[in-house]
Amino acid sequence: MSKKRHTAQEIGVKLHQAEEMAREGKFQGEIARALGISVMTYHRWRKAQQSLPAGPTLVPSAIGHSVNLVEDDDLARLRDLELENSRLRRLVTDLLLEKVKLEEDLLVRRDRNRMKQAR
- Position 65 scores a pLDDT of 46
- Position 70 scores a pLDDT of 56
User: What is the amino acid identity at position 15?
Assistant: L
Confidence label for 8 from pLDDT (cuts 50, 70 and 90)? confident
The domain segmentation of the chain, as residue ranges, is 1-70, 72-119
pTM (predicted TM-score): 0.43
User: pLDDT at residue 69 above 80?
Assistant: no
- Position 74 scores a pLDDT of 82
CA dihedral 32, 38, 40, 43 (to 10 degrees): -30
Task: List, in order, residues 6 or more apart from 61 with CB less than 8 Å away.
Answer: 67, 68
